[in-house]
Structure 1
Amino acid sequence: MDISFGLDGCLVVVTGASGHIGKVIVDAFLEAGCCVVGLDIKVQSSPKQHERLRWIEVDITSESVVRNAWSEAQRHFNGRVPTVCVCAAGLDLSYIDHHQSVADMPVEQFRRTLDVNTTGTFITAKTWLKCIKDSIDADTQLRSTLRNVSLIIIGSEAGVLGVPGNADYAASKSAIQYGLTMSLAPEAARIFEHARVNAIAPGAVNTPQFQKECEAAPEALWVDAQVTVASKKPVEMEHVAKTCLMLASNNFSGSTTGQVIRVDGGKSGRMYWDRDGRAI
């Protein structure tokens, strides 16, 4: 029994690669021996450098820009097919305006969040699958050599539990981790029988931004990552990244597709009211 990930030499595309979680995902795939293309709307001034890593600035809401990035990825890595794609890009909940009620939310905010998080993920997923299809159509022998053909969509606990005051974010994540993932899984397998599509729904992740929020409002740790969480702690970034490795690997997840993997420490609900009846 081969218990290695078997990812050596695979070309992996990671969107949102400059974010806190994105950078850890990039590191994980590099450690697994992959070639990695990191996409983000703005690459940091001094990004991580590695002989198997290429950075490209991309607006995922533009299909032509994403398609050009895929072509550049293949050129840079000598025509290799990007078989693994991790969709970690999007508007993060920490950086979206919060409202007491959806009644106060501008329609423009709702549209913008869905455009980036939902449409952007759709465009990325479409580009990944079209690249697989076109590559197989151009070279039928690839069917016998392609391995680890996997799309991994990073959703959120928000897509499961909702977010009072940020229905835009919750709706966008629910759409990609359920409707999009469940629809793409059978479609991908019709194009290439070993292609798989899954989603990860992390709970509150222990990012530097989450740590800042907890310092500013100490009750945030209890509300978001303790009171309804079996493990009584936030999720570590590397646990999300390692779940990506597992889902990318055909050795580990060859029969896993169309699934939403909750990486949330056993979170069973969300707090809405404190003891005095005030909204949380």
Structure 2
Amino acid sequence: MADISFDVALGLESTHALITGASGAIGSVIVKAFLSAGAHVSAFDIAKPQEPIAHKRLQLYQVDITDEDALENAVETARGKFGLITTCVLAAGVDLSYCQHHSLVDMPLQEWRRILNVNVDGTFLTSRAWLRDIRSYATPQDRNISAIIFGSEAGTFGVPDCAAYAASKSAIQYGLVRSLARDAVNIHSRCRINAVAPGPVATKQFEKECDSNLAMLWQEAQATVALK
């Protein structure tokens, strides 16, 4: 009988991943996951990490994803450090916990624009900078060319007290992802574009909110998940 091998590795060894929102509760876990998989990681965030990681395959960049020139320069610097960015994880954004919560009729236009600027414009600018780099420097042999955009279940179900957040997540996880996917394969035939849309995540911030509002854990998580 012939020997059969089955490779369950992710194939990320020595590749280069860009993680935005890398200092956040979710982003920091993503950074650790890619490092564990053997990738080089460029970590972008406007804020410095609360628990910095020292690793020879990790480079931190303090960058605002809504600043077009700064973002383009950071991507160029990152490529110079670790080579072509094959994987781009777009986790940066204004989190629902840090939005001003208003009924739509009371929401200030300034707050609406702030949330859409970061969550939609920032995601667009990052996607564009990454894909431009793929167009200029990728070869047909490059693998794991993919982008993963972080949406939210709020983009599907809506949020009664923060319509801007729901609208921004719907925009990127539907319209942007589907359009980008059709465009990206014309840039590189092996390119993949996907979105994930998590609901409440057991972060310290969510636990803090639940402690101050006992009904939140039930309303936001247990009542909507079959296994509670």
TM-score (norm. length: structure 1): 0.78
**Which residue of 2 is the match for residue 179 of structure 1?**
175
Instruction: Considering Cα pairs closer than 8 Å and 6+ residues apart, tell me whether 1 or 2 has the greater RCO.
Output: 1
Alignment match of 2:108 (pick from 106, 109, 133):
106
5+ long unaligned stretches in structure 1: 137-141, 233-280
Structural RMSD (CA)? 1.0
Deviation, structure 1 residue 14: 0.3
**Which residue of 1 is the match for residue 7 of structure 2?**
2
**Which residue of 2 is the match for residue 21 of structure 1?**
26
**Which residue of 2 is the match for residue 255 of structure 1?**
none
Distance 1:181 1:215 in 2: 35
Structure 2 letter corresponding to 1:22: G
Q: Is the 8 A contact 2:149 2:196 kept in 1?
A: yes
Distance 1:67 1:118 in 2: 17
Q: Is the 8 A contact 2:23 2:50 kept in 1?
A: no
Matched, 1:31 2:36: yes
Cα-to-partner distance string for 1:160-182 (whole Å, 9 max, x where unaligned): 11000100000000000000000
**Which residue of 1 is the match for residue 91 of structure 2?**
88
Deviation, structure 1 residue 186: 1.3
**Which residue of 2 is the match for residue 134 of structure 1?**
136
Structure 2 letter corresponding to 1:27: K
Deviation, structure 1 residue 46: 5.4
Deviation, structure 1 residue 130: 0.4
**Which residue of 2 is the match for residue 246 of structure 1?**
none
4+ runs deviating over 4 angstroms: none
Structure 1 letter corresponding to 2:73: N
Distance 1:22 1:35 in 2: 15
Distance 1:85 1:43 in 2: 20
Structure 2 letter corresponding to 1:55: L
Cα-to-partner distance string for 1:183-235 (whole Å, 9 max, x where unaligned): 00011111111001000000110011000011111110000001121121xxx
Distance 1:46 1:157 in 2: 28
**Which residue of 2 is the match for residue 159 of structure 1?**
155
The DSSP-based 3-state class of the residue aligned with 1:143 is coil
Between the aligned residues of both structures, percent identity stands at 51
Cα-to-partner distance string for 1:231-264 (whole Å, 9 max, x where unaligned): 21xxxxxxxxxxxxxxxxxxxxxxxxxxxxxxxx
Alignment match of 1:209 (pick from 176, 194, 205):
205
Distance 2:199 2:51 in 1: 29
The DSSP-based 3-state class of the residue aligned with 1:202 is coil
Q: Is the 8 A contact 2:42 2:61 kept in 1?
A: yes
**Which residue of 1 is the match for residue 100 of structure 2?**
97
The DSSP-based 3-state class of the residue aligned with 2:7 is coil
Distance 2:151 2:75 in 1: 22
Structure 2 letter corresponding to 1:81: L
Q: Is the 8 A contact 2:24 2:49 kept in 1?
A: no
Alignment match of 1:143 (pick from 130, 140, 144):
140
**Which residue of 1 is the match for residue 3 of structure 2?**
none
Matched, 1:191 2:196: no
Distance 1:214 1:190 in 2: 46
Distance 2:51 2:173 in 1: 32
**Which residue of 2 is the match for residue 67 of structure 1?**
72
In the comparison of the two structures, how many residue pairs are matched? 223
Structure 2 letter corresponding to 1:148: N
Deviation, structure 1 residue 122: 0.2
Distance 2:73 2:150 in 1: 22
